[in-house]
Amino acid sequence: TLENTIFGDYGFQKDPALVADILQKHIEKNPDCDTIYYDLLGLALQDTDADAAEKAFRIHIDRGDTESYYSLAVLYLNRGDEAEAYAIAEEGARKGAINCRRFKSGMEQERFLEHSQEEQEALHREIAEGLDYAIAHHDRYACFVKGCCLYCGYLGYPEDLEQALEVVERGCEMGHNSCFWLKAVLLEALERDGVAKASLQAARLGDREKFTLEQVARGYVSGKLSKHAEEIEEYWLKEYLAANPEEEDTKDSLGAIAVYPRGFYYAMDVEEDLDLEDLASQVDARGFDVVHFSETLTRITKALSLEGCHVAMLVDKDGYMKDLPDNMAGTLVYGHGNEIRGTVVFVLEDDNDYSLMPMKGLQRVYMFIQLLMAATGGLVRQPTSEELESIGAEDGGFEEYDDPDIFDGDEEEDMVSEDTYEEPKELTVPVNKVLEGISQCNLCIDTLFVTLTPEYGFASTEDLFYDLGLMNAIEKNIKAHGGYMIDEWQYVDARQVPMDIRSRVRFK
């Protein structure tokens, strides 16, 4: 419990100061207490009082326990004393500390690449030997580290997802939460089943990553985790909602989600008092029949933690009479065997009087779309420019919240420059001119290809965005062309269609 409170693991609230206070009082009263308390004290103090942490680690070592060699080496590494850190780790390894055998595997990729090719090869051999030794001696974290290296192609390892999965499976057998998280990431990358199940186990073991909780929610609404529905409803859906807070400036955005027979969605801007006639006219329907409940609608309602209302599906009442095409997504959501034809629209419905209302909050709408994609097995997808044009829409339907304190109508018009609607183009630049390339693009529609030099050969796509300092430049570019960020990687482009920045800036 004390260690989990230090690091905030397994659902515990992170509070190292509290743990340090408890341990200091306990040690003061019982100086000959179990040596593990000195190790925990060092961990609790390492970020706030390095000298006191070092003293605690050395007492632990002096009393015959080798576990603190690793923590002491990390402490020196954080101080910038790499030579002393490696010396301490080597001493720990000689005295039997298994985690010290893999100490150099914690090296940053940038630091690894600073060495010559010959030095890199020697380092890789040493790191690989240390990790394999640690794994052979049941070191769970070593499985995670080696899995990461194989997944990213770091520290001299080749990029090999199959081998990474094999290594991570062993860490999962030993119960390491991060190994379950990485297993889910690898299974998704390999397009295999089991992502939701691995994510659920990671959550049970304390992982609270947004990816993990989203995969649990997706597995729940798709029925892949139906055996664990009660557990997910009681615990993990609350965590999923907490991991996706609504931004203050988008909490009042309103929308209704139309899904067309071809599978693409369109997020329509609507008024708070939902006008069904206007809604029907937007999708060429004479009127709607309402699907109040279905198994899928109920699961999505619970996943979104809606209170006092539920998700309902509006269906074109003349779908059969007009011989409209089958809407496969609508048919799956309905779930009672009958074909749903024509365009369907998703809105909210009051639990008591069954009055209809729009969805509220940009993040909540975005979550709904992701869950609907999962529930339909990927049948629901983003619209293309041609599909938007075919329904007479200029954008993807998300309305950016209009804050009168920020800009008025004229200024908003100026924010979306005319080139937003130009034909998309592709631009290729060398890595040393990537920022210049971004300034020459409209990333809402254009694609920038970046040619890498050998020194970046082992870096993952995500790391390159940060290592090259691109995030701020990309966000400024998107905002300048009428888009805005939703989260770390997702943004809404000038057509108001959610996109991923990794699809706009690509490395080769």
Domain boundary among 151, 181, 211: 211
Longest dimension (CA), the chain: 85
Residues 284 and 431 both lie in one domain: no
Number of structural domains (the chain) is 3
Q: Is 35 a residue whose pLDDT tops 50?
A: yes
Compare 142 and 246 and report the one with higher pLDDT: 142
Percent of the chain at pLDDT exceeding 70: 91
Residue 402 has pLDDT above 60, yes or no: no
240 lies in some domain: no
User: Burial of 432 by CB count in 10 Å (0-12 exposed, 13-18 middle, 19+ buried)?
Assistant: exposed
Residue 407 lies in a domain: no
262 and 145 in a single domain? The answer is no
Residues 57 and 132 in one domain: yes
SS3 58: helix
Residues 373 and 287 in one domain: yes
- Which run of H or of E encompasses 449? strand 447-451
Co-location of 387 and 430 in the same domain: no
Give the tens place of pLDDT for each residue, 438-482: 888 888 878 888 888 777 766 777 778 888 888 888 888 888 877
Q: Is residue 40 part of a domain?
A: yes
pLDDT of residue 397: 53
Distance separating alpha carbons of residues 6 and 26, to the nearest angstrom: 16
CA distance 495 to 293: 32
Inside any domain, residue 152: yes
DSSP state of 360: E
Q: Are residues 21 and 141 both part of a single domain?
A: yes
Query: Same structural domain for residues 387 and 431?
Result: no
Question: CA–CA separation, 94 vs 342, rounded Å?
Answer: 71
Predicted local confidence at residue 372, as pLDDT: 96
Residue 410 within any structural domain of the chain = no
Q: Which residues of 404-417 are buried (b: 16+ CB within 10 A; e: fewer)?
A: eeeeeeeeeeebbe
Q: What is the helix (H) or strand (E) element at residue 292, kind and residue range?
A: none
82-129: per-residue pLDDT in tens? 999 999 999 999 999 999 999 999 888 888 999 999 999 999 999 999
- CB of 29 closer than 8 Å to CB of 61: no
Q: Is the pLDDT of residue 401 over 60?
A: no
* Cα 282 from Cα 251, distance rounded (Å): 24
- CA 42, 46, 51, 52 torsion: positive or negative? negative
Q: Sheet with 505-507: list strands edge to edge.
A: 426-430, 447-451, 505-507
Three-class DSSP category at 489: coil
Residue 243 lies in a domain: no
Q: How confident is the model at residue 157 (pLDDT cuts 50, 70, 90)?
A: very high
Among 196, 211, 226, identify where a domain stops: 211
Domain boundary among 343, 372, 391: 391
Q: What pLDDT shows up at residue 396?
A: 54
Residues 56 and 181 in one domain: yes
Residue whose C-alpha is closest to residue 193's, from 225, 159, 164:
225
- Domain co-membership, 33 together with 182: yes
CA dihedral in degrees (218, 221, 226, 230; nearest 10)? 100
Q: What is the pTM of this model?
A: 0.73
Residues 314 and 437 in one domain: no
pLDDT of residue 498: 60
Token pair, residue 344, equals: 């369907």
Within 8 A by CB and 6+ apart from 102, the residues are 127, 130, 131, 133, 134, 139, 142, 145
How big, in percent rounded to 5, are the helix, strand and coil portions of the chain?
A: 55, 10, 35
Q: Which residues pair with 255 in a beta bridge?
A: 359
Alpha helices per DSSP H over 46-96: 50-62, 68-78, 82-94
What pLDDT sits at residue 122?
95
Q: What tens digit of pLDDT does each residue of 292-310 get?
A: 999 999 999 999 999 999 9
Average confidence score pLDDT of the chain: 86
Q: What range defines the domain where residue 38 resides?
A: 2-211
Task: Please tell me whether residues 185 and 324 are part of one structural domain.
Answer: no
Contact 284, 322 (CB under 8 A): no
381: exposed, middle or buried (C-beta count within 10 Å: 0-12, 13-18, 19+)?
Answer: middle
CATH number of the domain where residue 194 is located: 1.25.40.10
Residue 140 in domain = yes
Measured between alpha carbons, how far is 18 from 13 in angstroms, rounded to an integer? 11
Q: 167 with 71, same domain?
A: yes
Residue in the block written with tokens 């030794």:
133
Q: What is the pLDDT of residues 218-260, one digit of tens each?
A: 999 999 999 999 999 999 999 999 988 888 877 888 889 999 9
CA gap 504, 426 in Å, rounded: 9
Asked if residue 234 belongs to a domain, the reply is no
